[in-house]
């Protein structure tokens, strides 16, 4: 028997659009994806996949189900084999009764989502009664409407805030969700203290982690939830849930470095931005974004770190470029990040920067050749370019690579 909690966890980690697309090429049609049905013969598509509901449905033959059902039907696998197959694709181990991994995943029950939801509500309530936190957001130019859209909250400056909403502060689920840290001698305390809280939400709108930003000078400036049964950094993008509609509408997505950037951009009407979560852009991110729209614009700070991040994004993106898809790199002036830039110059100036991104064909061939011959493109994508190579990137300019 495979525990129900594991199956739920597996389904929550999968995106049915990814799963179906391994077998059937999908096309966007409004909020859904469509294709000619793989289960019956037809000339016009009546097979639809709903990302928000996470199921597929054929209006022609009535085929219907979840990601698991699809793999069973399409690959002709049994229930257990289909689950094994899908679990492998997201690096989960199917629990067998006596394995340690099994115990781990049995506990990864759906109620972890409720825990995150309770914490989110608490942090939002706390924001409402903290003039200091409200003041901070106001100074950054954020409206209450935007704060609500992103579910922004505040974790007060105390060690056991969450004891106020979780009757059992010693409960395992609090450490499993990364909300609480166990220190020496079993003492527990909240991970997030005196921070602006940004809930990290999956494509279904469930909170799976938090990013916390200090209000003043403290360190670290940004603190994220650790990897948990709900949250895998390399597969999630901050703001994607809120941005999905705009990304489809605009047919482009802007990838930035911080959650504050995403929120500030949305505040100024650039609603198609997402952020990586303390990781480099992964191949998974790139694939996901290229499926949503035609044009992926990576926007990085003009400093050295930004240039290195851009280089890694480029290395991870190149293998996935197909006809009709474009990738650009936008470097802001060194003294700016997207948040400060759009606050100072506004939406039009920011979008002008995006427009000015040059296609690869006009990018100086010499420079491109140098990148190619540096061996970096063919080298393992796990190695960031050296500082020297990063420094070659031009400042104050936008570079677009279009294949």
Kindly indicate which of the ranges 34-42, 155-163, 177-185, 247-255 contains the residues binding Zn ion, using the contact rule CB under 5 A.
Answer: 34-42
Q: Which is nearer to Zn ion, 36 or 321 (CB)?
A: 36
Q: Which is nearer to Zn ion, 56 or 238 (CB)?
A: 56
Our finding on whether 59 is near Zn ion (CB under 5 A) is no
**What SS3 state is found at 288?**
helix
Binding to Zn ion (CB under 5 A) within 306-345 occurs at none
User: Would you call 137 exposed, middle or buried from its count of C-beta atoms within 10 A (0-12, 13-18, 19+)?
Assistant: buried
Q: Which is nearer to Zn ion, 37 or 127 (CB)?
A: 37
Q: Which is nearer to Zn ion, 29 or 80 (CB)?
A: 29
Among 10, 14, 35, 37, binds Zn ion (CB under 5 A): 37
Our finding on whether 58 is near Zn ion (CB under 5 A) is yes
Find all residues with CB under 8 Å of 380, minimum gap 6, and list them.
none
Q: Which is nearer to Zn ion, 59 or 79 (CB)?
A: 59
Our finding on whether 60 is near Zn ion (CB under 5 A) is yes
Our finding on whether 55 is near Zn ion (CB under 5 A) is no
Among 40, 64, 187, 369, binds Zn ion (CB under 5 A): 40
Q: Which is nearer to Zn ion, 57 or 107 (CB)?
A: 57
**What SS3 state is found at 330?**
strand
Find all residues with CB under 8 Å of 105, minimum gap 6, and list them.
3, 5, 6, 9, 92, 93, 95, 229
Kindly indicate which of the ranges 57-65, 92-100, 143-151, 216-224 contains the residues binding Zn ion, using the contact rule CB under 5 A.
Answer: 57-65
Residue 50 φ then ψ, to 5°: -100, 115
Angle at 229 between CA 224 and CA 231, to 5 degrees: 35
Q: Which is nearer to Zn ion, 60 or 283 (CB)?
A: 60
Q: What region, left, alpha or beta, does residue 194 occupy, with left being phi > 0 and alpha being psi -120 to 50 degrees?
A: left
Among 29, 31, 61, 129, binds Zn ion (CB under 5 A): 61
Our finding on whether 64 is near Zn ion (CB under 5 A) is no
- Torsion over CA: 126, 128, 130, 132 (sign): positive
What's the min distance (Å) between Cβ of 2 and Zn ion? 28
Q: Which two tokens stand for residue 29?
A: 């049609």
Q: What region, left, alpha or beta, does residue 251 occupy, with left being phi > 0 and alpha being psi -120 to 50 degrees?
A: left
Kindly indicate which of the ranges 14-22, 63-71, 179-187, 334-342 contains the residues binding Zn ion, using the contact rule CB under 5 A.
Answer: 63-71
Our finding on whether 35 is near Zn ion (CB under 5 A) is no
Our finding on whether 75 is near Zn ion (CB under 5 A) is no
Q: Which of 56, 76, 58, 79 is nearest to 67 (CA)?
A: 56
- DSSP H or E segment with residue 101: helix 100-107
Question: Residues in contact with Zn ion, total (CB under 5 A)?
Answer: 7
Interacting residues toward Zn ion by CB under 5 A? 37, 39-40, 58, 60-61, 63
């Amino acid at each position: 028997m495979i525990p129900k909690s594991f199956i739920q966890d597996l389904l929550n980690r999968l995106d049915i659009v990814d799963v179906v697309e391994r077998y059937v090429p999908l096309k966007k049609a409004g909020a859904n994806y469509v294709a000619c049905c793989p289960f019956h013969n037809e000339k016009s598509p009546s097979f639809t996949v709903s990302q928000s509901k996470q199921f597929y449905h054929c209006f022609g033959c009535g085929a219907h189900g979840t990601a698991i059902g699809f793999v069973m039907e399409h690959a002709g696998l049994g229930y257990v084999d289909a689950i094994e197959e899908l679990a492998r694709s997201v690096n989960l181990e199917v629990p067998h009764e006596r394995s340690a991994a099994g115990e781990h995943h049995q506990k990864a029950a759906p109620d972890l989502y409720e825990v995150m939801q309770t914490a989110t509500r608490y942090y939002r309530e706390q924001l409402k009664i903290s003039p200091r936190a409200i003041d901070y957001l106001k100074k950054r130019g954020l409206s209450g409407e935007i704060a609500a859209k992103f579910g922004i909250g505040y974790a007060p400056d105390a060690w056991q805030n969450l004891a106020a909403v979780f009757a059992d502060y010693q409960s395992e689920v609090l450490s499993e969700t990364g909300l609480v840290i166990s220190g020496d001698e079993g003492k527990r305390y909240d991970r997030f203290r005196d921070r602006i809280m940004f809930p990290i939400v999956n494509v279904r709108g469930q909170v799976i982690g938090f990013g916390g930003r200090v209000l003043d000078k403290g360190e670290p400036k940004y603190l994220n939830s650790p990897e948990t049964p709900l949250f895998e950094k390399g597969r999630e993008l901050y703001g994607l849930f809120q941005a999905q509609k705009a990304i489809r509408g605009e047919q482009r997505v802007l990838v930035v470095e911080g959650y504050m950037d995403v929120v500030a951009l949305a505040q100024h009407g650039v609603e198609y931005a997402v952020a990586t979560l303390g990781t480099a852009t992964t191949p998974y991110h790139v694939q996901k974004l290229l499926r949503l729209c035609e044009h992926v614009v990576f926007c990085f700070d003009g400093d050295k770190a930004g240039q290195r991040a851009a280089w890694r994004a480029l290395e991870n993106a190149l293998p996935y470029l197909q006809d009709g898809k474009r990738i650009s790199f936008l470097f802001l002036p060194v003294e700016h990040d997207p948040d400060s830039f759009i606050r100072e110059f506004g939406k039009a100036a920011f979008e002008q920067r995006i427009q000015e991104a040059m296609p690869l064909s006009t990018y100086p061939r010499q420079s491109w050749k140098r990148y190619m011959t540096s061996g970096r493109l063919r080298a393992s994508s796990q190695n960031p370019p050296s500082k020297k190579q990063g420094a070659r990137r031009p400042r104050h300019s936008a570079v677009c690579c279009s294949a």
